[in-house]
Homo-oligomer: A and B are copies of this chain.
Amino acid sequence: MDPQDIYELLAAVKSGSLDPAEAAERLRKLPYEDLGYAKVDHHRALRRGFPEVVFGAGKAPEQTAGIVDRIAARGQNVLVTRTSADVLSLVSPSWPSARYHAEARSVTVTVRETPRLAGRVAVVSAGTSDLPVAEEAALTASFHGAEVERIYDVGVAGLHRLLDRTDSLRRARVVIVVAGMEGALPSVVGGLLEAPVIAVPTSVGYGASFQGLAALLAMLNSCASGIGVVNIDNGFGAGYLAVAILKSGSVET
Contacts and interface: CB of A to CB of B under 8 A. Distances in A.
Contact of A250 (B11, B214, B220, B249): B249
A93 interface: no
A229 B228 CA distance: 5
B157 A159 contact: no
| Prevailing SS type, chain A contact patch | helix
Contacts of A14: 13-14, 16, 20
Nearest to A118: B253
Contacts of A155: 191, 223
Interface stretch (A70-78, A83-91, A96-104, A166-174): A166-174
Interface residues of A, number: 112
A119 B187 contact: no
A125 interface: no
A221 B181 contact: yes
Contacts of A184: 156, 182-184, 187-188, 218, 222-223
A221 to B, nearest CB: 4
Contacts of A39: 32, 160, 166
A234 B206 CA distance: 9
Interface string A180-214: 01111001101110111110010101111111111
Contacts of A233: 206-207
A225 B25 CA distance: 31
Given A190-B157, A206-B57, A208-B232, A241 B216 contact: no
A196 B121 CA distance: 15
Given A32-B33, A231-B207, A40 B158 contact: yes
Given A35-B35, A197-B244, A228-B241, 9 more contacts: A31-B35, A33-B165, A118-B253, A156-B184, A156-B224, A157-B223, A206-B231, A208-B220, A228-B228
Interface of A: 3, 6-7, 10-11, 13-14, 16, 20-21, 23-25, 27-28, 30-37, 39-40, 43, 46-47, 53, 57-58, 118-120, 126-127, 129, 155-161, 163-167, 171, 173-174, 181-184, 187-188, 190-192, 194-198, 201, 203, 205-234, 236-237, 240-241, 243-251, 253
